[in-house]
Amino acid sequence: MSSRFFDLLSGRFRPNRAFRFGRKRQKTTLPNPCSVPNSEPQIRTVQVTRYVTPLREGGSLPAIVEADDGFLYVLKFRGAGQGVKALIAELIAGEMARTLGLRVPEIVFAHLDPVFSRLEPDEEIQDLLRASVGQNLGLHYLSGAVTFDPVVNAVDADLASRIVWLDCYLTNVDRTARNTNMLMWHRELWLIDHGASLYFHHSGQPWPEQAVRPFVQVKDHVLLPRATELPAADAAFRALLTPEHIRRIVGLVPDEWLADEAGLMTVEEQRQVYIGFLETRLAHSEIFVREAQHARETRI
């Protein structure tokens, strides 16, 4: 008999008890595993109990894992690629999208125990697990979801404009025809993989200058041709995104992810940089909206 059973409806992966890591799981009542749009940001913490399989896409080696709540998650590792900055971007962008009414899989903090690196035979994955002990980021695994195809899947002008606006605001360079980072699940569009957002924190340049720059990479956005209602999206989102919303979302970032290895800034100073960037960019949104409109006119 197989040692594991996969439930396609719930997205749960149920191995034989002998293969589970950690204590016996207590039965719990969980919230909707895919948090609803417009909900207040609340991040649960789960304990990773089993490494299921790597997702060998890109350079960061995310993986499907099972947690102590019985659900599967796509785990983004703090020890991979761009490190915790990618996790910060994933968290802020994901919760920002949810606040604006867009669909994003539930985000959780996922704690990884040191024992996993000792049990993994693959040396590359072993190194990744060893470097990622502690708090990582997980997104609820959408079982049965398929990659968004711009040729097959229709997106109306309003939704396309809202997604393009969001990616311009967050400077997300990774929503192209080659890699859409969108899924169709239960006939609805879900946004995933926002780790490439907020790339100002990699540039080393002053954030006030970065905050008011146009987003020229929008020319490659997969939904740009359909984004005919950008001014309406701009007006709607500027009304929705209050300073309180921005501060509440940035406040979700764990202190340990904001620790400055060089010791030049305190955790609170680092947090204020993100708040300042987002508030300033929102106040000057006409700059990136104008750039997007120009790019669209040139492209079509």
pLDDT in tens, 96-144: 999 999 999 999 999 999 988 887 788 888 899 999 999 999 999 999 9
pLDDT mean over 277-299? 97
Picking from 116, 177, 190, 104, the residue whose alpha carbon sits closest to that of residue 146 is 190
The alpha carbon dihedral of 27, 33, 37, 42 has a sign of positive
Whether residues 103 and 170 fall in one domain = no
Which of 89, 116, 140 represents a domain boundary (last residue)?
140
* Mean pLDDT to the nearest integer, 32-47: 70
Overall average pLDDT of the 73-99 stretch: 95
The predicted structure's pLDDT at residue 259: 86
Q: What is the predicted pLDDT for the residue at 237?
A: 98
Sequence-distant (≥ 6) Cβ neighbours of residue 251 within 8 angstroms = 271
Report the C-alpha gap between 232 and 252 in whole angstroms: 29
Query: Is residue 78 located within the same domain as residue 132?
Result: yes
Question: Where are the alpha helices (H) located in 172-229, listed in sequence order?
Answer: 200-203, 207-211
Other beta carbons within 10 Å of 132? 24
Residues 10 and 151 in one domain: no
What DSSP state is assigned to residue 36?
Answer: P
* Shared domain check, 132 and 48: yes
pTM: 0.86
Question: Considering just the CA atoms, what is the radius of gyration of the chain in Å?
Answer: 20
Query: Which residues are 112's β-sheet partners?
Result: 134
| Residue spans of beta strands (DSSP E) within 222-278 | none
Asked whether residue 189 falls in the same domain as residue 215, the answer is yes
Of all helices (H) and strands (E), which one includes residue 272? Answer: helix 267-283
The most distant pair of C-alpha atoms in the chain lies apart, rounded to whole Å, by: 61
Ranking 4-8, 117-121, 170-174, 186-190 by mean pLDDT, the lowest is 4-8
Tell whether 152 and 244 lie within a shared domain: yes
**Residue 106 vs residues 71, 200, 216, 256: alpha-carbon distances, Å:** 11, 25, 30, 21
Whether residue 294 sits in one domain with residue 153: yes
Residues 162 and 111 in one domain: no
**Do 129 and 151 lie in a common domain?**
no
pLDDT band at 17 (very low <50, low <70, confident <90, very high): very low
Identify whether residues 164 and 294 lie together within a single domain. yes
At which of 81, 111, 140 does a domain end?
140
Find the Cα–Cα–Cα–Cα dihedral 224, 34, 43, 260, rounded to 10°.
-40
Alpha helices in 77-205 (DSSP H): 84-99, 115-119, 123-131, 157-169, 200-203
Region 7-14 average pLDDT: 38
* Closest to 194 in 3D by CA, of 216, 163, 157, 154: 163
Give the residue numbers spanning the domain of 30.
Answer: 4-140
Indicate the residue among 114, 140, 166 that finishes a domain.
Answer: 140
Asked if residue 293 and residue 152 are part of one domain, the reply reads yes
Q: At what angle do helices 230-240 and 157-169 cross, to 10 degrees?
A: 60
| Nearest-5° Cα angle at 61, 55 to 66 | 60
**How confident is the prediction for the chain on average, in pLDDT?**
86
What is the separation, in whole angstroms, between the first and last Cα of the chain? 56
The total number of structural domains that make up the chain: 2
Q: How confident is the model at residue 224 (pLDDT cuts 50, 70, 90)?
A: very high
8 A C-beta contact, residue 214 and residue 285: no
- Residue 128: how many other CB atoms lie within 10 Å: 23
Q: How confident is the model at residue 57 (pLDDT cuts 50, 70, 90)?
A: low
Q: Please give the backbone phi and psi of residue 211, each rounded to the nearest 5 degrees, phi first.
A: -65, -25
Looking at the structure, do residues 125 and 185 belong to the same domain, yes or no? Answer: no
